[in-house]
Structure 1
Amino acid sequence: MPLDVMGLFFFAYRDFVGDADALLERQGFGRAHHRVLYFVNLKPGMPVADLLDILKITKQSLARVLRQLIDNGYIEQKTGESDRRQRLLYATEKGRRFFEVLSATQTSRIDAAIAALPPEGKRTVLKFFVSMVDTGDRSTLDRLKLTDDI
Structure 2
Amino acid sequence: MSKRIGGLCDELRIKLHGMDPRLEVLKANGAASFDQSQEVLESQLDRVEQRIYDNRVTVEAANVRIKTWLAEKKAGSVAGKNLWTERQKAYLLEARADDAEAYAIAVFELAAAAADEAALAVLQAILARNDADAAVLPKVE
Larger relative strand fraction: 1
Question: Structure with the greater relative contact order (CA < 8 A, sep ≥ 6): 1 or 2?
Answer: 2
Larger relative helix fraction: 2
Mark yes or no: TM-score above 0.5. Answer: no
Q: Normalising by structure 1, what TM-score? A: 0.22
Q: Normalising by structure 2, what TM-score? A: 0.23
